[in-house]
Amino acid sequence: MDIRFWGLRGGAPISGLSTARYGGNTACIEVRCGKSLLILDAGSGIINLGQALMQELQGKALDARLFLTHTHWDHIMGIPFFMPVYKLPGKLTVYGVAGMEDVLLSLFQGTEAGEFFPVPMGKPTAEISFEELREETPAGEAVVSYYYLNHPGLTIGFRVEHKGKSLVYLTDNEPYSSSNRELIRGDEDTSFLARIDREVVQFARSADLLVVDASYNDEEYGDRAGEGHSSVSDALQVALAAMVKKLVLFHHHPLRTDTQIDMLVERCRERVESLKRELEILTPAEGELIQI
Q: What is the largest CA-CA distance in the chain?
A: 58
Cα–Cα dist 125/178, whole Å: 46
Cα–Cα dist 43/41, whole Å: 6
Does residue 185 lie within any of the structural domains? no
Does residue 289 lie within any of the structural domains? no
Mean pLDDT, residues 279-283 taken together: 97
Does residue 184 lie within any of the structural domains? no
Mean pLDDT, residues 204-213 taken together: 98
What CATH number is given to the structural domain containing 205? Answer: 3.60.15.10
For residues 275 and 267, the answer to whether their CB atoms sit within 8 Å is no
Does residue 91 lie within any of the structural domains? yes
Looking at residue 120, its pLDDT comes to 55
Cα–Cα dist 26/41, whole Å: 9
Which residues are CB-neighbours of 191 under 8 A, at least 6 positions away? 183, 184
CB count in 10 Å sphere of residue 98: 8
Does residue 292 lie within any of the structural domains? no
Greater pLDDT, 24 or 98: 24
Angle at 5 between CA 116 and CA 157, to 5 degrees: 75
Greater pLDDT, 263 or 117: 263
Does residue 103 lie within any of the structural domains? yes
Q: Percentage of residues in the chain with pLDDT exceeding 70?
A: 89
Mean pLDDT across the chain: 90
Q: Bridge partners of 210?
A: 168, 247
CB count in 10 Å sphere of residue 187: 10
- Is the pLDDT at 118 greater than 60? The verdict is no
Counting the structural domains of the chain, the total is 1
Least confident of 190-194, 198-202, 205-209: 190-194
Least confident of 135-144, 153-162, 189-198: 189-198
State which H helix or E strand residue 167 sits in.
strand 165-170
Cα–Cα dist 240/221, whole Å: 20
Residue 269 is part of which domain span? 2-179+190-284
